[in-house]
Structure 1
């Protein structure tokens, strides 16, 4: 075992995260804080009963080194690459190998705001319940104050910043599709390792401690005086298809990884097929050759190859389309419309 490599890039879960040394002084967010939120380190997540995606991921040396650098420095990892090269699956692979529980996922679009990732506050529900309480209480009694934790739920980013003893894995998917301000808005949160919930901070004098729901449905998170503060900075993996540039202030706070395309590497394509469809690589030569030839004339993703291999090796051949037709059905270029007649 390579001692420096906490994440080994293997498919065997282990407890190597216990070897992670203390953070640099400028990235220490208070490991001595009293409150700790437990989480299930081996949970596949709600609705994820199939084989975890990370079990079939194969990381090269550059990827392994970048992940470990982000872990040591407590910095986000910005992963750029073509569609289908495994940017999102990397988060599953790290979480599975290091036994860091459910991957917290935050998918980004042009309307996404920072608050969407941090928390939600059900103000309407609180107003309605407060109105019912006032009308139902006897005239000579003061209605009991509502538990504010019932109206607050953390988003994926907010959950990742809860006071866990070990880092959670957060996937911020397709950050390049965000509004132009979101990367800069994230900087303060990444630098502080926490955030405030104003609705809880305003009520802290009469309800100092509130327990709120995390995004993964796990144990409630204890919020003190409206502040969520991490103990262990999460492993934040941000993915980008390279569709835009990011401000220098954002880039210098990230560890950056450019994933190479696999479409011209036959050995790597065969390894990907072997990992996802054991045994099928022996019968997939023609499909891999067709995929590589088709990729030379337009953009393709490796999951398209897997779909084609599955159809050729795992379904009945009787009445099935031939390889040429399969190419037109499944291996359609991502940067062009489908050809006529498909």
Structure 2
């Protein structure tokens, strides 16, 4: 019998995603006749840098089980927890280990709309092209061939729903900051695994098939009669800091994972420090103890601990602050009012 865990939380890249079984019948998307969009499985870059933080991610059994459940069921993973517990980094860790390429990122705010996540249409550029074509016709010139696909760019959600043979990884960050309607707007897209680009659908009589640019600047996506339909449902991570509640219809369509604060777990904090800063010396223990002590009276994030430990390693230089000063500078409570600072 094969290993149930596709994602193992080892941080070692492997091709386990290739043995992901067929989806449940009600989550089977796409068509074998759809043109497949290729993507680079080994592009693991944020901006201009590699992803060392994904290699250092500390996944416990509850995280591993939740990720695999979402992969098997083809459902989004809703990850809740305080800031700094590793919600967003989980998407990088899964993409890195399963070799699923660059994470598609959609940072959400109160003005974000479903359309924004799906695609952008340059209506002004299209009007300018039409105006040029009319002028060419009026002056007896041969008008240039219109390509409406040039004016469409898929958003991160739209790109994740393109017809890839393997799931893309999509991070919808801080969904709890969205407009109240966005979670419900996402339901149809998550259920159907497809969406329509209205501007391309209207132009289908003259241009049935077009190629559009994805959000990650990868290979162009073929769109037929305005419809974009996934073949493999993406691995979607939705993060929430718990600033609002979600409707039951939305929650029942997600696999839910809560990441507890690690500020009172000394063993895990030490493991995180070793993973991210393997050269940290024994003096890091002073900062870890200070972090745990201060976390007992107010909110802190683990990246503050890492920043403090990093600085601690530079205190041998002349004029550098002492450990107590580093703690006061870096380990400042996030809930300032509650902490009385």
Common fold, TM-score beyond 0.5?
yes
- C-alpha distance 159-153 of structure 1, shift in aligned 2 (>3 A): same
For the 8 Å contact 1:33–1:231, the answer to whether it is kept is no
CA distance in 1, matches of 2:234, 2:281: 36
After the TM superposition, which residues 191-210 of structure 1 pair with which residues of structure 2 at under 5 Å, given as runs? Answer: 191-210=191-210
Corresponding residue number in structure 2 for 1:100: 100
Corresponding residue number in structure 2 for 1:230: 230
Shift in Å at residue 37 of structure 1? 0.2
Q: Please state whether the residue corresponding to 2:78 is helix, strand or coil.
A: strand
Shift in Å at residue 137 of structure 1? 3.9
Q: Please state whether the residue corresponding to 1:164 is helix, strand or coil.
A: coil
Corresponding residue number in structure 1 for 2:311: 311
For the 8 Å contact 1:45–1:216, the answer to whether it is kept is no
Structure 2's unaligned 5+ residue stretches are: none
Shift in Å at residue 304 of structure 1? 0.2
Corresponding residue number in structure 1 for 2:28: 28
Q: Choose 52-61 or 139-148, whichever is displaced more.
A: 139-148
For the 8 Å contact 1:11–1:55, the answer to whether it is kept is yes
CA distance in 1, matches of 2:327, 2:81: 23
Structure 1's unaligned 5+ residue stretches are: none
For the 8 Å contact 1:55–1:93, the answer to whether it is kept is yes
Q: Please state whether the residue corresponding to 1:171 is helix, strand or coil.
A: strand
Q: Please state whether the residue corresponding to 1:13 is helix, strand or coil.
A: coil
Shift in Å at residue 53 of structure 1? 2.4
TM-score w.r.t. structure 2 length? 0.96
Q: Please state whether the residue corresponding to 1:271 is helix, strand or coil.
A: helix
Corresponding residue number in structure 2 for 1:90: 90
Deviation per residue, 1:5-51 (Å, 9 max, x gap): 00000110000001100000000002523310000000023624234
Matched, 1:335 2:340: no
CA distance in 2, matches of 1:159, 1:332: 39
Q: Name the Cα RMSD after superposition.
A: 1.9
For the 8 Å contact 1:332–1:338, the answer to whether it is kept is no
CA distance in 1, matches of 2:30, 2:330: 51
Deviation per residue, 1:94-133 (Å, 9 max, x gap): 0000000000000000000001100000000111122122
For the 8 Å contact 1:274–1:281, the answer to whether it is kept is no
Q: Please state whether the residue corresponding to 1:39 is helix, strand or coil.
A: coil
Shift in Å at residue 2 of structure 1? 7.5
Q: Choose 267-276 or 131-140, whichever is displaced more.
A: 131-140
For the 8 Å contact 2:77–2:256, the answer to whether it is kept is yes
For the 8 Å contact 2:314–2:320, the answer to whether it is kept is no
Corresponding residue number in structure 1 for 2:239: 239
Corresponding residue number in structure 1 for 2:38: 38
- C-alpha distance 322-46 of structure 1, shift in aligned 2 (>3 A): closer
Corresponding residue number in structure 2 for 1:284: 284
Corresponding residue number in structure 2 for 1:270: 270
CA distance in 2, matches of 1:317, 1:337: 35
For the 8 Å contact 1:52–1:92, the answer to whether it is kept is no
Q: Choose 308-317 or 211-220, whichever is displaced more.
A: 308-317
- C-alpha distance 42-315 of structure 1, shift in aligned 2 (>3 A): farther
Matched, 1:155 2:155: yes
